[in-house]
Structure 1
Amino acid sequence: MADRISSDHSSLTTVRATLVRSGGLDRPKVEIPADAADSFPDGELVRIVADDTEYRARIESPLTGDGREIRGLYESPTLARNPEDGENHLSAWVADANVEFDQSVLVDVIEPGFKYGLREPGERAFYEATESPDESLADIAQGLDE
């Protein structure tokens, strides 16, 4: 059985991000501040745990500024690459969470560039301790997925 760590564990870094509206349909997105961007590699697909469910998301650079953003949570890497083909669970998380637009959300850095946690301020979360695969295995998996 994999080890579980809590969001207040000393090995985790927590980043205070902002939930904002995106586009004409007011879709939610999480804006990561520029001073934390090094922990969120641009263009990478990552795992994000929200409410005990693990999703996939693409970390992106905003059109303006130096931070990063998360525009959606999806059930698979394929859906994260092609968001129009699947349900964006970020909207459901926002609807169930006690956060509103322009308020803070917390992003726990479980494994930089690989796995993160998303939670409401003041809430405690537990995560499976998962290490990122070695680079050669990740390259093979990405080649198969393409």
Structure 2
Amino acid sequence: MDRIAHDNASVRTVRATLERVGRTDRPRIDLPDSDTDAFPVGEVVRVALDGTTRHARVHRGMDEGLELRAVYDNARQARTDDGEDRLPEWVAERDLEFGRSVLVDVVEAGFFYGVRAPDEAAVYEVPDRPDDGLAAIARDLEEP
């Protein structure tokens, strides 16, 4: 596992927006339209929240923009949207309001991202990429 700071030259930071999921008080992160190539639609990616690596699926929103609707403890939960969403707790701990900017660090496009409040610094422990063959087998086993 490598450690990398948010301000490392290899990390690209994009400004996203914290929004509501529908009419609820559940937060989601709206990703910038200009960076759709950095986020694989429909894929589960690793997301660091508060130093802990979690998992999220990149969704296409109603307005065709990209969003992270929830952040889960593992990839299976992110694929099935079944488990405790860690994003509301992260938002509450920082007292962030809807409509406010959050920063998404693109540590390794298509694989690993960090989410932080605009005034936060972060050092990420980047996990090793899983073996593609083993990952495919695991996905096949989880599907009904």
Q: Whole-Å Cα distance in 2 between the matches of residues 33 and 121 of structure 1? A: 15
TM-score scaled to structure 2, two decimals? 0.91
Deviation at 1:58, TM superposition (A): 0.6
Q: Whole-Å Cα distance in 1 between the matches of residues 62 and 83 of structure 2? A: 24
TM-score scaled to structure 1, two decimals? 0.90
Unpaired runs of at least 5, structure 2? none
Instruction: Spell out, residue by residue over 1:66-109, the C-alpha distance to the aligned partner (whole angstroms, 9 max, x if none).
Output: x31000011111211222x3111100000012421101000011
| Secondary structure of the corresponding residue to residue 25 of structure 1 | coil
Q: For 1:24-39, list aligned pairs within 5 A.
A: 24-39=23-38
CA-based RMSD: 1.5
| Secondary structure of the corresponding residue to residue 54 of structure 1 | strand
1:88 to 74, 77, 85: 85
Unpaired runs of at least 5, structure 1? none
Aligned to 1:7: 6
Counterpart of 1:68, as a letter, is L
2:109 to 108, 112, 124: 112
Give the fraction of aligned pairs with identical amino acids, expressed as a percent: 48
Aligned to 1:71: 69
Counterpart of 1:29, as a letter, is R
Matched, 1:59 2:34: no
Aligned length, in residue pairs: 143
Matched, 1:40 2:35: no
CA contact 2:47–2:114 (8 Å) conserved in 1: yes
Q: Whole-Å Cα distance in 1 between the matches of residues 76 and 136 of structure 2? A: 15
| Secondary structure of the corresponding residue to residue 63 of structure 1 | coil
Deviation at 1:131, TM superposition (A): 4.0
Deviation at 1:64, TM superposition (A): 1.2
CA contact 2:61–2:67 (8 Å) conserved in 1: yes
1:133 to 117, 130, 135: 130
Deviation at 1:3, TM superposition (A): 2.4
